[in-house]
Amino acid sequence: MAGGATPVVLGIAGILFIFTALTYAEGTAMFPEAGGSASFARHGFNDLMGFIAGWALMFSYIVTISISAYTIPSYLGLFWEPLKTSPLAHTGVAMGIVLLLMLVNVIGVRESSQVNVWLAILDIATQLLIIVLALVLLFQPAVFCQRVTGYWPSTANLIFGIAIAAIAFTGVETVSQMAEETKRPQVRAPRAYMLMIVVVLLIFSGVSVSAFSAMTPSELASEWATDPIAGIAHNVSATIVPDEIAARLFSDPIQFFLASWFLDVLRFSLPVLVAVLAATILFIATNAGLLGISRLAFSLGRFNLVPGVMGKVHPRFKTPYMSIVVFTMVAVLLQVPGFFRSDLFESLGGLYAFGSMLSFALAHLSILALRWKMPKAERPFKVGWNIRFRGVEFPVSAVIGLLGTAVIWAIVVIMQEYSRWVGFGWMGLGLGIYFLFRWQRKVSSTRAVK
């Protein structure tokens, strides 16, 4: 979609990611409760705004489940090619993954957070290794510049590419959702966001340069669209010539033999390692979306923003099974077009941008409203670089973040018909449920209900 402007698009998305993470760090430290942007909007404005932010956030969680599970078969296609080439096999496996995780979350099988942490560290280390190898073996400044300028997209595709790059925002809400279950969230949540900023920007810049060093933008947008890291690994491994590289590095026979052997093993194992790790991390991301849905639904139900049945807990498994089942089935439904459409990944990216950018824009707006409404409230973490207006300090990052996310959301609405109709359909359905629910409770749609 973004063609040669992919590094530029990722750079702009990275800047907006920084501003959004800073906003969430301040809001989460101030209100360490599940709900994320819904919580910020409820405190900053009223219950109706809290519901709108929460419902948009729920949509982004649903799409996260769909798009993460839909990407897994692309990486596993290394072991069975139909998973990459057959829409039937690809989409069927993706649906099966979502349904399996729905069952796991309803039963309430506990995930091993320690294992997830080590897998994430191993995945990041592998990506960094691939980036370094691509830069050492493949990077040529002239070729890189030619691929940027020679494949420069239209203005419309450049702008929409920024919206699709917003998929990288996945995870910003996760820290906020977990704050209520964390010791000293006022300190640990901001630290987690700062670490997230460093890691995301490092990976963003490295992958964009490595991808253009390893393949042309057209190859990246077609053959490797859903598994770009696998594409980089494939081209890197094809470039490694063990004996030649070892001969340049070592003259000692033993050192030469060991280096050649290591490079030979690396050449064959790198694509396999990437496929396994990427599929595992995406599996964890899919499950994280389901965990986010359960926590968000419980939080919205606790504050009477959705009917109580959505937060109903199973008598045996002690999980909010109704919300898990209902919203997971919506995620499966969003994958159905994959059986007959080749652009489902792009469509899901637009849907994610619709929900996430709307909830992020409301998060920025809520932080600004809280600065005005509660200027002297305790803020364990306060974003710096402020502008003063009528004695109140407003963070510039939140202002820019609000404008950026709102513009991206508007672009998605204007440019992608599928996202526009599905997104507004989702929001309209939610608002109908909300107003009916509050009317039945005989309470105002904006007033907080205990």
pLDDT digits (tens, 9 = 90+) for 252-267: 788 878 878 887 888 8
C-alpha span between 320 and 298 (Å, rounded): 7
Question: What is the tally of structural domains in the chain?
Answer: 1
Q: Is residue 227 part of a domain?
A: yes
pLDDT attached to residue 368: 96
Please provide residue 392's backbone torsions phi and psi, each rounded to the nearest 5 degrees.
-115, 135
pTM (two decimals): 0.88
The set of residues, in sequence order, having a beta carbon less than 8 Å from that of 85 and lying 6+ positions away, is 77
Please, are residues 97 and 365 in contact by the beta-carbon 8 Å criterion? no
pLDDT attached to residue 168: 66
Q: Is residue 445 part of a domain?
A: no
Q: Which two tokens stand for residue 344?
A: 């489902």
Q: Is residue 150 part of a domain?
A: yes
Q: Is residue 105 part of a domain?
A: yes
| Residues in a beta bridge with 387 | 394
| Residues in a beta bridge with 388 | 393
What CATH number did the domain enclosing 158 receive? Answer: 1.20.1740.10
Which among 423, 328, 283, 337 has a CA at the least distance from the CA of 61? 328
Whole domain around residue 280: which residue ranges? Answer: 3-408
Q: Is residue 434 part of a domain?
A: no
pLDDT attached to residue 111: 54
Q: Is residue 71 part of a domain?
A: yes
pLDDT attached to residue 250: 75
C-alpha span between 196 and 372 (Å, rounded): 28
pLDDT attached to residue 113: 54
C-alpha span between 416 and 412 (Å, rounded): 6
Q: Is residue 437 part of a domain?
A: no
Inter-axis angle of helices 344-373 and 417-440, nearest 10? 50
pLDDT attached to residue 73: 93
pLDDT attached to residue 216: 86
- Rounded mean pLDDT for each run of 10 residues along the chain, 450 residues in total: 77 87 92 88 93 94 93 91 91 94 79 63 83 85 86 79 72 77 81 84 83 85 80 84 76 80 83 87 86 85 82 76 90 93 84 92 96 90 88 93 92 89 95 91 74
End-to-end CA distance of the chain, in Å?
A: 47
Q: Is residue 420 part of a domain?
A: no
